Amino acid sequence: MRLNRFLASAGLGSRRGVEAMITEGRVTLNNQTVNDLGRQVLPGDKVAVDGRPVNQLPATTIAFHKPRNYLCSKVSEGRFRSIYELLPPELHHLAHVGRLDAESEGLLLLTNDGDLAHQLLHPRHQLPKVYVATLDKPFDFSEAPRLLKGMLVEGKKAVFDKIHKAGPIQVEITLSQGIKRQIRVMLSYLGYDVRKLVRISIGELKLGTLKTGAWKTVRPDDAAKWLTPKPVKKVAPRKVKPAESQPDETSD
């Protein structure tokens, strides 16, 4: 196993974080300092960081229902608490894959499987994520093409893959991007305030009936199956005559 993957799977941080440990000269392999990120660790090899032995932990991935007002962080800040306060100590070595902002809720994955985390985060995979946003007023679907065409957010072109009606003041949104606060910012440009935002799926993995603050283990073979991205087709909402109600569609 590559040294950087070995350290990440031992719960010492993200792949980028452990690579920094290696390049800083903090890692030894069989009592020799190693700076090669791709150095192979063989059975019986002794790995240490800052002189402390490192033992590889089994790959673990969990699906967690993040509550509102909790941070995707190891530490709390002000009125916002850390998500790790809701997890048992034996899971504190897991790293969150991506993040949800403090005010957002829903499905969050945590893992010590560096390869899985890399697959989920790499832009080329464009893993679709589905959210339900509760707005301050009903959404006018005549404005949907602006969201599907895209707009600049933090200097990047931000687009919705899909947007459908999910309730009187709720919309279901599919994204394959990961720009900070993308949904809230894009909708605010059109004059909408997002009162509640819940992520209900990542790829083929669904939040389902998982209760707020609860978690469940995701088996490696299930992760490979559920988290395989499928092509996302942008679907423009059908035009609605004034006398009709807004479309009530659901995504795939």
Catalytic residue numbers, as ranges: 101
β-pair type (205-206, 105-111)? unpaired
Q: What's the DSSP call for residue 103?
A: T
Amino acid at 125: H
Instruction: Identify whether the C-beta of residue 174 lies closer than 8 Å to the C-beta of residue 230.
Output: no
What tokens appear for 105 in the block?
A: 């809720």
Q: Which residues pair with 119 in a beta bridge?
A: none
Q: Hey, CA dihedral for 50, 52, 58, 61, is it positive or negative?
A: negative
Measured distance between the N- and C-terminal CA atoms of the chain, rounded to whole angstroms:
38
Query: How many CA atoms within 13 Å lie on the side-chain side of 160?
Result: 27
Query: How many CA atoms within 13 Å lie on the side-chain side of 222?
Result: 11
Other Cβ atoms within 10 Å of 182 Cβ, number: 19
